[in-house]
């Protein structure tokens, strides 16, 4: 049971205002693999398949492109995930197939500009 004061207040209360906002989209970043002469195609393909989920064919295409052009975009994603993927590349380890290999390949991240 409501009192007359409560009923009057309920009648005078403005309707609830619902504001719908779209979540802001995070700007994309490229993960860029850099070429060197201390890693084999087998190493690069294996790394791309394990870290980025590439198919054998896609990994081979990316390995060929990094070999020919010196760098290749291997992923475009959020900043947080790009940093994580770059760090995974750096931590992947040396290529045991080449004695002079001292460690992992290099990767960098850059904003993906339209």
40-97 pLDDT, tens digit per residue, is 999 999 999 999 999 999 999 999 999 999 999 999 999 999 999 999 999 999 999 9
pLDDT attached to residue 83:
98
pTM across the whole model: 0.78
pLDDT attached to residue 33:
98
CA distance 40 to 101: 10
CA distance 77 to 28: 5
* For the chain, domain boundaries: 25-111
pLDDT attached to residue 111:
97
pLDDT attached to residue 2:
55
Top-confidence residue, 70 or 9: 70
CA distance 72 to 89: 13
CA distance 35 to 44: 10
Cα–Cα nearest to 111, from 52, 33, 32, 27: 27
Mean of pLDDT values over 100-104: 92
* Highest CATH level, class, for 25-111: alpha beta
Burial class for 64, CB neighbours closer than 10 Å (0-12, 13-18, 19+): middle
């Amino acid at each position: 049971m409501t009192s007359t004061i409560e009923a009057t207040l309920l009648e005078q209360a403005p309707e609830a205002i619902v504001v719908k906002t779209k979540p802001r989209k995070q700007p994309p970043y490229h993960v860029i693999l850099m070429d060197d002469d201390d890693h084999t195609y087998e190493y690069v393909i294996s790394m791309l398949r394990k870290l980025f989920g590439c198919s054998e064919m896609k990994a081979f295409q990316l390995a060929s492109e990094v070999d020919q052009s010196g760098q290749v975009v291997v992923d475009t994603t959020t900043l947080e995930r790009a940093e994580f993927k770059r760090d995974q590349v750096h931590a992947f380890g040396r290529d045991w197939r080449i004695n002079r290999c001292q460690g992992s390949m290099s990767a960098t991240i850059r904003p993906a500009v339209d």
